[in-house]
Chain A
Amino acid sequence: AQKVTQAQTEISVVEKEDVTLDCVYETRDTTYYLFWYKQPPSGELVFLIRRNSFDEQNEISGRYSWNFQKSTSSFNFTITASQVVDSAVYFCALSEAPGGSYIPTFGRGTSLIVHP
């Protein structure tokens, strides 16, 4: 069965600090997809990134970067120079490829609070 663990329930930082949100996953499939979503107080989940299991290249998008390591089954998310607008709940999710259980699994989320 697939599983996603976000061990950090809440993280509090001061603006301009760097922060890393951890995501550890479990799956028996060799082909799978990983996602990060942001959920601001308005409630809508906003898509941030999608990564397939065959692409371990790290990715950077502005202040956001992602570190995918299959050896440790982790897909961590780093925000550089955090801003108050980054305050939200961030979810990591896993979806297996055809042949596995399609039902995507979300972690419990990490609440990030950025103080001015």
Chain B
Amino acid sequence: EAGVVQSPRYKIIEKKQPVAFWCNPISGHNTLYWYLQNLGQGPELLIRYENEEAVDDSQLPKDRFSAERLKGVDSTLKIQPAELGDSAVYLCASSLGGTGTTGETQYFGPGTRLLVL
């Protein structure tokens, strides 16, 4: 069974440019997560989707970050415009999902390593 797929794996952009990351979760997983991981830190949740609905987005800097999961499968995370401090690894994860399923095991993709110059 295929795991969580993310692309691109690496991205280098200049500040003020837009950037987008794509994630395809494990087949059948209804819950999708986007995390930010700074160097030497653990992942921090940006947003969580239950199917196509964003149910946890309090950590998402909405002035420049946006995300969508239009058909409840693939998801895109966008930054516009990017700032130097956005350089980090952006991880996508998925889990089975469903009512009252907090504490589910999340399966992670390889991440996108972003460098903003």
Known: A43-B110, A43-B111. A95 touches B43 (CB 8 A): no
- The B contact surface, by secondary structure, is loop
Docked CA distance A44–B3 (Å): 10
- Of residues 88 through 116 on chain A, the ones whose CB sits less than 8 Å from some CB of chain B are 91, 93, 95-98, 100, 102-109
Q: Is the CB of A108 within 8 A of B40?
A: yes
Q: Is the CB of B56 within 8 A of A109?
A: no
Residues on B lying within 8 angstroms of A by beta carbon are 3, 40-45, 48, 56, 58-59, 89, 91, 93, 100, 102-103, 105-111, 113
Contacts of A100 in B (CB 8 A): 102
| CB-based nearest A residue for B58 | A103
**Residue B102 contacts which of A35, A93, A95, A105 (CB distance < 8 angstroms)?**
A95
Known: A43-B89, A102-B48. A91 touches B103 (CB 8 A): no
